[in-house]
Structure 1
């Protein structure tokens, strides 16, 4: 028997997570564009046909689309997906052309494009900083308190009092660092560098694979070393240090994301762990059911994901634009229109294929394929 947040709570949580994050991401683009004098023709939350909106005194149409899976800012002069100057742009009066995105130097265009993902990271930093101030930060040192019998740690000869200085070549300052590294590597053999009575030792350890199921029925596969810490150490963080702690936590989260993505690419983790909007909605509902703090923490994680994904060098994403701006800055002239057109067509195909793939995974995660197999059988 599993708990379920229900469809209404799931939809509410999804709206609370994705809506504000998309709005703030696009607001980052919009604000940077305003700073550099670029006119915004439309600001949309969601895609497709407009269901509500208004036009402000600057001529920007603020609207909601019927498909709430993203959003966009359309700047003046965006007459084609690649944002390339064309005959229609050249035909604009000089005064109007000066307010278009294409008229700006490459460094200003790069700032406008990067402002969206940067905003996502800033949101996460502020959330983590607030949580660190309110609840403190776990500073429990990476010292072994208890070694579980017949565990990988016991097989490797670890003893209470050992300080684990590094794991897999990565420094381990706290027990949280150990837990984060271990969970992502079930079944892997990694070297441990430990300090014991002033002596440094290096021993290999093969992590166990632990399968857990939470109250919502989600199954997790994670690595286990088989140790527990001694007395937990929590440190309250002041307002001045909180942003620094927020940056550190965002960096730690990004490192875990890159580790996980690398494991999927190299085949060490199954590709069905990649999720899309349906899975995000389900987890958002579960986090809301657990409490507001859990939901806010989840919002920070999704904000980091949005920022990271948008910075990938794939045409159609912010990172793809930034890649071409970097090429333009080096060559001192824009990439040719034909190259840009084919690149953006390819980027669109990649994104559509990825969307179909993660949706297939999501439907499998909610049991659709098992249910259809049962009906057919």
Structure 2
């Protein structure tokens, strides 16, 4: 019974912010598909936030049914001629359409318009993240700390490599370092991977070899994270903690950069999982999102906005996976069509969609199992 309470006890304060965030991200994603499709001359039959039975909705003058559905774990845009919400062509319906009507379907549009319509969903998520980050930086500035070492923990990887208090970190593997955040971001994703560190010590520039150690850290909410660490510490005096004010042009550039960091960090993590340097237990599902949303809500609006931006990038990347059913799977099929000069056969596409659905279902089961195991562990 205690385990059951652990799984469901947090829902009361976490469910609402998670539903709001997920609904926003899904709406933006599907709006990308919708706007690109309409611009491409493709008729849109339905625009849904959520799956399952419709809670409320209306039909506009273009014949599009806008609706809010019961299960807030996704959404879809269904185009004219689609057999389902995954945009598989309905071969029976398409066979009976006139050439003019067929041109208004997703499958009947020119290849580049189909690709643009499909890619517009993930792109909208990336754009949303950039806008959120830019807004946060534009209104609040950017917290900056110089990468100057105040303390080296005894017996740490940095201690073994010869790092000393007062060292200014210049680069990691020839990648320039500007702030201490750059150090954390790079080192944390490289457990047990040798890193070449360039430091300035007084008037000398030294090259040191350091291997971050795999470390399990715990955040303020008790969540455990597996990262690489080298054992250096900064403080206010040495690192000169400060808030740099940014104009809106700089804020947008920083928003793009922050979005790029999330993308590269995601790929770094997946590479670590496949190379067995990190555990896949950080892959979470709906329960993790609900829990994290509730935790961020206790920290205020800025924390929730940052979470929304991170999740928006994650949603965009997930949908770009080259798996049939997802947007990336459609783009893969379009690439094959461009190379072959004709689409794959209907039977082949249906088989690919079945495999893709099984893969996504397996990923969802694995992520949910991770979430439950963490809560009851």
Does the alignment pair 1:307 with 2:316?
yes
Distance 1:342 1:209 in 2: 41
Instruction: Name the counterpart of 1:240.
Output: 249
Instruction: Name the counterpart of 2:274.
Output: 265
SS in 1 for 2:107: helix
Counterpart contact for 2:11–2:290, Cα < 8 Å:
no
Does the alignment pair 1:59 with 2:68?
no
Q: Which runs of 5+ in 1 are unaligned?
A: 371-377
| Alignment match of 2:164 (pick from 156, 159, 165) | 159
Instruction: Name the counterpart of 1:26.
Output: 30
Instruction: Name the counterpart of 1:253.
Output: 262
| Alignment match of 1:121 (pick from 123, 126, 141) | 126
Instruction: Name the counterpart of 1:42.
Output: 46
Counterpart contact for 1:129–1:245, Cα < 8 Å:
yes
Distance 2:153 2:141 in 1: 28
Deviations 1:9-52 (A, max 9, x none): 21111112101110111011001111111111111111112222
Instruction: Name the counterpart of 2:340.
Output: 331
Deviations 1:120-141 (A, max 9, x none): 0011001110111122224433
Distance 2:46 2:79 in 1: 7
TM-score (normalizing by structure 1): 0.90
Deviations 1:80-137 (A, max 9, x none): 5563462420311333222211221011111110110000001100111011112222
Instruction: Name the counterpart of 1:90.
Output: 95
| Alignment match of 1:78 (pick from 67, 82, 88) | 82
Instruction: Name the counterpart of 2:16.
Output: 12
Counterpart contact for 1:288–1:295, Cα < 8 Å:
yes
Distance 2:76 2:347 in 1: 24
1:254-293 aligned within 5 A: 254-293=263-302
Q: How much has 1:56 moved relative to structure 2?
A: 1.3
1:329-368 aligned within 5 A: 329-367=338-376
Counterpart contact for 1:189–1:207, Cα < 8 Å:
yes
SS in 1 for 2:21: helix
Instruction: Name the counterpart of 2:3.
Output: none
Distance 1:91 1:112 in 2: 24
Instruction: Name the counterpart of 1:99.
Output: 104
TM-score (normalizing by structure 2): 0.90
Distance 1:47 1:208 in 2: 43
| Alignment match of 1:135 (pick from 128, 135, 140) | 140
> Aligned pair count?
366
Counterpart contact for 1:30–1:40, Cα < 8 Å:
yes
Distance 2:167 2:15 in 1: 47
Q: How much has 1:185 moved relative to structure 2?
A: 3.4
Deviations 1:163-206 (A, max 9, x none): 32332454323211101122233454433233445544332223
- Note the aligned Cα RMSD (angstroms): 2.2
Distance 1:114 1:95 in 2: 25
Distance 2:183 2:287 in 1: 31
Moved more, 99-108 or 294-303: 99-108
Inter-CA distance 124–148: structure 2 relative to 1 (3 Å threshold)? same
Q: How much has 1:142 moved relative to structure 2?
A: 2.8
Inter-CA distance 334–302: structure 2 relative to 1 (3 Å threshold)? same
SS in 1 for 2:74: strand
Distance 2:242 2:152 in 1: 19
